[in-house]
Chains A and B, each alone.
Chain A
Amino acid sequence: MRLQQKDLMMPNTPEALFSQAHTGANGNTPGRAVKLSIDGVSHAFDDNLVLDNVSLDIAPGEFVCVLGASGCGKSTLFNAVSGLLPITKGSIRLDGEDIVGKPGNVGYMLQKDLLLPWLTALDNIVLGASLTRGATQDDRLRATALATHYGLGAHLNNYPTTLSGGMRQRIALMRTITAGRDLMLLDEPFGALDSQTRLSMQQWLLQVWAETGRTIMFVTHDVDEAIFLADRIVVLLPRPGRIGRILNVDLKRPRDVSCMTSSTFISLKAEALDLLYR
């Protein structure tokens, strides 16, 4: 009996861990299917226009980085897509459905890991289930299998305060994945980490993304990070926040650190820096 259950719960392939994952979505065919559609979004706080007519379509399974200096409305755009911020003008659709002002449709992760100190790492990972319908033993088994696959198995009974910053962000990402949303918004999730940890986290994120087939919208002000991770980079310009240009990143996957010194990488970096600082 124990063994049967174990076989059920421990799939051999990582793909089998994600029942709701898209299949073959990493092929990047923007322009065809649309996961997220941002159309003519503007937002003003009082009289201060922070987002000006932003339009962007994201394909299923695509990895899009939103790159911009501080004050360019990155976080406002994210809060709008998450549903936390009702926008002044425009529409945001997820799978064709209007999600303006409706939180709970997309996964969300911030620079602050927001792990609850009174829950163990595992209980933090299954928080989405706990907060909506109550986490079942099945949820806990799945989460344990997922976390173990991504190298967190030894820390699942730990309280978050006893874990390192990188480990905490991994747990937070597992929480976001376990919540089961197709689209995940990541707002500078590695911003508080040291550069070595950050690089290993980026590679880890790419692995998780490739295996889970989720769609990712990733905010950063780090040009290298954006190029290393993204299929496309949306460069936002400040005051008011607007799209400056969308850059296609034609680096083949899977990517490793060596691609950061390739000529494609360097020329993209030059282009992005020119847009940001001219």
Chain B
Amino acid sequence: MSLIRSIFIHPVVKSMGSWSVAMLMLLGLWQAIVSVFHVPAFVIPSPVATISALFQNEVMIRGLLWQTFKETLAGYLVGAAVGVLLAVVMSQLPGLGRLLYPALVTSQAIPIVGIAAPLVIIFGFGMTPKLIIVAWIVFFPVVVNMMDGLAHIDRDQINLARLLGATRLRTFLYIRLPACLGPLFSGLKIGASYAVTGAVIGEWTASSKMGLGTYLLAANAQMNSVGVYGAMLLMTLIGIGSFAMLLLLEYIAMPWRHRATSPWRRAPHL
């Protein structure tokens, strides 16, 4: 009894519960709007019709979903890695950081569709330009948030490390890095919710393989409303799934935020 209780009051389970309820409410709202206002199906199809159409073309849809998911994930991983690396380098070498910062801001001021075209000219159709577009969108919130975190580390903690005779690398691993995990995850979460958009824009400009983005364009051209909404629903699902995955990673990476004792570090027995 108490085990079952403890599962249901576990914060991760509770959070999953509230997410599911929120999703169902949105679907319900969608259904209600369509039903109450008698919206014709070619303008807005009902969620039931949309989802059942997805299942009718299950094999094809599965392929599209997998393709777009692959692009999103690969681009996201590259973007996140670049963001973290840049933040570390720029904070350790402030001179270089001051030079690079305006360049980073500029990179985001260029409309992403404007970047897509030259990328196709340079890299041709295929995975590379799509991956770059996703990474281009993802790295920015990661680098900005992580740098912010690294810049606001408690001066006294760094002094303490110096007084203990710390090496630079170890100070980074034991103090700077864990201290900026919060902001880092904020950046990673924002990046995760934008990543799909990048993949879809990539597909629109640089696709040789069918993904959800290309499918959405095709469906739109054919006045296939259930197809358009179905693609949209699945893209949303990828976005929400990535975000939820990061929430879970964040929860695991920072046990001190929700636990009294460490789940893995134990004092030795005497």
Chain A residues near B175 (CB, 8 Å)? 116
Interface residues of A, count at CB 8 A: 40
Stretch at the interface among A33-41, A137-145, A206-214: A137-145
Is A179's CB under 8 angstroms from B164's CB?
yes
Stretch at the interface among A21-29, A127-135, A267-275: A127-135
Is A137's CB under 8 angstroms from B260's CB?
no
Stretch at the interface among A107-115, A195-203, A224-232: A107-115
B254 at the interface (CB under 8 A from A): yes
Is B260's CB under 8 angstroms from A116's CB?
no
Stretch at the interface among A53-61, A90-98, A154-162, A238-246: A154-162
Q: State in angstroms the CA–CA spacing of A10 and B178 once bound together.
A: 33
Q: Which B residues between 136 and 194 are near A, CB-CB below 8 angstroms? A: 154, 156-157, 159-167, 170-171, 174-175, 178-179, 181
Per-residue 0/1 for B226-270: is the Cβ within 8 Å of any A Cβ (1 yes, 0 no)?
000000000000000000000000000011100111100111101
Is B171's CB under 8 angstroms from A131's CB?
yes
Which residue in A120, A131, A141, A144 is a CB contact (below 8 Å) of B166? A131
Is B265's CB under 8 angstroms from A10's CB?
no
Q: State in angstroms the CA–CA spacing of A9 and B110 once bound together.
A: 63
Q: State in angstroms the CA–CA spacing of A157 and B255 once bound together.
A: 12
Q: State in angstroms the CA–CA spacing of A207 and B259 once bound together.
A: 32
Number of A-B contacts (CB under 8 A): 94
Is B166's CB under 8 angstroms from A157's CB?
no
Chain A residues near B261 (CB, 8 Å)? 120, 157-159, 162
Chain B residues near A148 (CB, 8 Å)? 270
A117 at the interface (CB under 8 A from B): yes
Which residue in B159, B174, B259, B268 is a CB contact (below 8 Å) of A116? B174
Chain B residue at smallest Cβ distance from A138 = B268
A103 at the interface (CB under 8 A from B): yes
A82 at the interface (CB under 8 A from B): yes
Is B164's CB under 8 angstroms from A127's CB?
yes
Is B178's CB under 8 angstroms from A145's CB?
no
- Within the complex, the shortest CB–CB distance from B181 to chain A, in Å, comes to 8
Chain A residues near B167 (CB, 8 Å)? 131-132
Is A104's CB under 8 angstroms from B260's CB?
no
- Within the complex, the shortest CB–CB distance from A2 to chain B, in Å, comes to 9
- Within the complex, the shortest CB–CB distance from B253 to chain A, in Å, comes to 10
Is B259's CB under 8 angstroms from A159's CB?
yes
A165 at the interface (CB under 8 A from B): no
A182 at the interface (CB under 8 A from B): no
30 contacts between A and B (CB under 8 A): A82-B163, A84-B162, A103-B162, A104-B163, A104-B164, A104-B165, A112-B156, A118-B179, A118-B181, A127-B174, A131-B161, A131-B164, A131-B165, A131-B174, A132-B165, A132-B166, A132-B167, A132-B170, A134-B170, A137-B268, A140-B267, A140-B268, A144-B270, A145-B270, A157-B262, A157-B265, A157-B267, A159-B255, A159-B256, A162-B260
